[in-house]
Structure 1
Amino acid sequence: MQKLKHKKLWLSSIVIILLVCLLFTGAGYYFFRVACVPGKKSFLSSSSKVLKKTDPLYHEKKWFKAAAKQKWHIESADEKFKLEANFIPYKNSHKTAVVLPGYMDTKEDMGEYDALFHELGYNTLTPDPRAQGHSEGHYIGYGWPEKDDVKKWISYLLETKGKQQVVVYGLSMGAATAMMTSGLKLPHQVKAFIEDCGYTSVKDEIEHEAGVLYNMPAFPRFPLVEILSGINKIKVGYFMGAASSVQQLHKNHRPMLFIHGSQDNFVPTKMVYPNYKATKGPKEIWVAPKAKHAQSFSKHPQEYKRRVAAFLAKYVR
């Protein structure tokens, strides 16, 4: 009788454990679709495409709409997808800024940044990340597979335009992509990096968003993110903890300017400090007062331009 009770208890425990595992796995797949499969995201604010004169970056966006854009194409670094970019030339300039969009943004959303670099005398090469805009792809890589695509874009730029000095600029996910790219072996023509509001690692950012968007406590957040990371390994090819800006910055010796809004709750402001500390090259940091996520430029347009121009003047002839 006692043995039968123990057997039933063990069977009940196993069933409960299996149900919990099934529940967490299902939740993991749900969050993978929310975070990593391209599409409309309810947690992202939709920005109006209508130009308004009250916009502090009205003139930059107006310039971009009228600018003549060349469409460039390459295959992704893993040769799976066709990628597209805008190339906007500046007269006979031998300087090019590679401008990297954020999460679910496209090259068309980066017009004010193209304008900023054009004003400084740079060509701009602005790719759609894989699975965003007109670039092919199944999943959002949060910068980890994209870093290799950026390296390939740089090589294509140098093959196509010849003598160039290259600057890599990224915003949000694009900023993380820029930092991750900085740890790769790159051509000597790459002179400097600028990152604006990038995260320390994909895992850190996913854990943060799970807490903020779903008010999720440490448990079940921790096991869910681990399951999500495992699914990401199967689908995208990497564990999220391995996709680290900090670790890549440890291998970077090129100059880098770090920018972050002081009121950023999407990629928390505190993330800029370990990123800044990690890089081994010359570095500068600016925490823009009262700026929310990806709003440092619109909040402080003249100061933003001044700081970017002053930084680049030190490293790009």
Structure 2
Amino acid sequence: MKHKKLWLSLSSVILLVFVIFIGAGCYFFKMACVPGPKSFLSSSSNKLKKSDPLYKEKLWFKKVNKQKWYINSADNRSQLDANYIPKSGSNKTVIVLPGYMDTKEDMGEYDALFHELGYNTLTPDPRSQGKSEGKYIGYGWPEKDDIKKWIDLVLEKNGAKQQIVVYGLSMGAATAMMVSGLKLPHQVRAFIEDCGYTSVKDEIEHEAQVLYNMPAFPRFPLVEILSGINRIKVGYFMNDGSSVNQLHKNQRPMLFIHGDRDTFVPTKMVYTNYSATRGPKKLWVTPNSKHAKSFADHPKLYRQKIGDFLSQYVK
């Protein structure tokens, strides 16, 4: 009788722990993967300030005419929205990929940079961000297939002589690296990634530790449960969303940029990503820069590094 009561008590405790972990997993899935206000993101004002080191670029973007381009997502469930800004007479296009919860409107200074370098720019809102439809944030893994469709649309509209570069910031950088491992048209010449993570799972684990000060237990089982929920809702396990694995398949040139004071996507990740790629590569770790601040902190050098890199591969 005592053994039966003991087993009953133990089973109840195990069930309770299981229910708590499932509930926590659902909560963290909503926090990480469902669009909406995020308390862990710093709010940014759209108001232009002359003290901003990128004021000129942002002012240009605000005034420039933008074409609207649309595609259906790769799974045909959502319509995706993009800004296209032509550069007169150019046969070069950069596809500019925003970060987590950012939109194409937040990437105006990067559109300006590439326009100044002689490129058309196509800047899409990722699924469920900005004006693009969608239920969940995919952290780059499902979005990589959308970018392939955007590449095909650039060639369809601008012709087969178009030369294409893929640039990404933060989540967009991870997306760019994931795209690099796909079978792509020969017109894709190069990639630039700025502060992208090694894998979705690595980034989620890092944020659980940093934002919630969560120790290894319960972090490990919780992330595994979150990954399982992600598989059901979004269609993939988070460990499958790997920049590193995709970079192993890449033969195209890639420029890696990362701030040496990045704690949101830790700087150490860039060295792993850099080692993984199989194509020509350059690495620039920017001094005293936090997450996604390399351009604002080093505007002239940022432009020069990108211009010098692309001049080797895009004519």
Q: TM-score, normalised by structure 1?
A: 0.99
> Structure 2: how far apart are the matches of 1:178 and 1:64?
23
Query: What do residues 133-154 of structure 1 show as CA deviations (whole Å, max 9, x unaligned)?
Result: 0000000000000000000000
* Distance apart, 1:235 and its partner CA: 0.1
**Which residue of 268, 279, 287 maps to 2:285?**
287
**Which residue of 130, 134, 141 maps to 1:144?**
141
Q: In structure 2, what is the equivalent of residue 245 of structure 1?
A: 243
Q: Are positions 1:312 and 2:310 aligned together? A: yes
> Structure 1: how far apart are the matches of 2:314 and 2:69?
24
* Distance apart, 1:92 and its partner CA: 1.4
- Paired AA for residue 153 in structure 1: W
> Structure 2: how far apart are the matches of 1:128 and 1:161?
20
**Which residue of 97, 102, 124 maps to 1:100?**
97
Query: What do residues 219-253 of structure 1 show as CA deviations (whole Å, max 9, x unaligned)?
Result: 00000000000000000000000100000000000
Q: Secondary structure at the match of 2:210?
A: helix
Residues 103-142 of structure 1: pairs in structure 2 closer than 5 A: 103-142=100-139
Q: In structure 1, what is the equivalent of residue 221 of structure 2?
A: 223
> Structure 1: how far apart are the matches of 2:266 and 2:301?
22
Question: Identity, % of aligned pairs?
Answer: 75
- Paired AA for residue 185 in structure 2: P
Q: Are positions 1:30 and 2:27 aligned together? A: yes
- Paired AA for residue 127 in structure 2: R
Q: In structure 2, what is the equivalent of residue 21 of structure 1?
A: 18
> Structure 1: how far apart are the matches of 2:124 and 2:182?
19
> Structure 2: how far apart are the matches of 1:148 and 1:205?
21
Q: Secondary structure at the match of 1:309?
A: helix
**Which residue of 188, 199, 210 maps to 2:186?**
188
Q: In structure 2, what is the equivalent of residue 5 of structure 1?
A: 2
> Structure 2: how far apart are the matches of 1:74 and 1:174?
18
User: Which residues of structure 2 form unaligned runs of 5+?
Assistant: none
**Which residue of 42, 57, 60 maps to 2:39?**
42
**Which residue of 253, 256, 261 maps to 1:263?**
261
Ranges of 4+ aligned residues in structure 1 off by more than 6 Å? none
Query: What do residues 89-145 of structure 1 show as CA deviations (whole Å, max 9, x unaligned)?
Result: 000110000000000000000000000000000000000000000000000000000
Query: What do residues 154-181 of structure 1 show as CA deviations (whole Å, max 9, x unaligned)?
Result: 0011001112100000000000000000
> Structure 2: how far apart are the matches of 1:76 and 1:127?
11
> Structure 2: how far apart are the matches of 1:302 and 1:18?
58
> Structure 2: how far apart are the matches of 1:208 and 1:108?
28
* Distance apart, 1:312 and its partner CA: 0.1
Aligned length: 314
- Paired AA for residue 195 in structure 2: C
> Structure 1: how far apart are the matches of 2:108 and 2:145?
23
> Structure 2: how far apart are the matches of 1:174 and 1:29?
25
Query: What do residues 13-35 of structure 1 show as CA deviations (whole Å, max 9, x unaligned)?
Result: 01100000000000000000000
Q: Secondary structure at the match of 2:43?
A: coil
Q: Are positions 1:57 and 2:54 aligned together? A: yes
Query: What do residues 186-215 of structure 1 show as CA deviations (whole Å, max 9, x unaligned)?
Result: 000000000000000000000000000000
Q: In structure 1, what is the equivalent of residue 164 of structure 2?
A: 166
Q: What is the Cα-based RMSD across aligned positions, in Å? A: 0.4
Q: Secondary structure at the match of 2:284?
A: strand
> Structure 1: how far apart are the matches of 2:70 and 2:56?
28
Q: Secondary structure at the match of 2:142?
A: helix
> Structure 1: how far apart are the matches of 2:253 and 2:64?
30
User: Which residues of structure 1 form unaligned runs of 5+?
Assistant: none
Q: Secondary structure at the match of 1:144?
A: coil
Q: TM-score, normalised by structure 2?
A: 0.99
> Structure 2: how far apart are the matches of 1:196 and 1:224?
29
Q: In structure 2, what is the equivalent of residue 214 of structure 1?
A: 212
> Structure 2: how far apart are the matches of 1:9 and 1:291?
56
**Which residue of 64, 76, 79 maps to 2:73?**
76
> Structure 2: how far apart are the matches of 1:254 and 1:86?
26
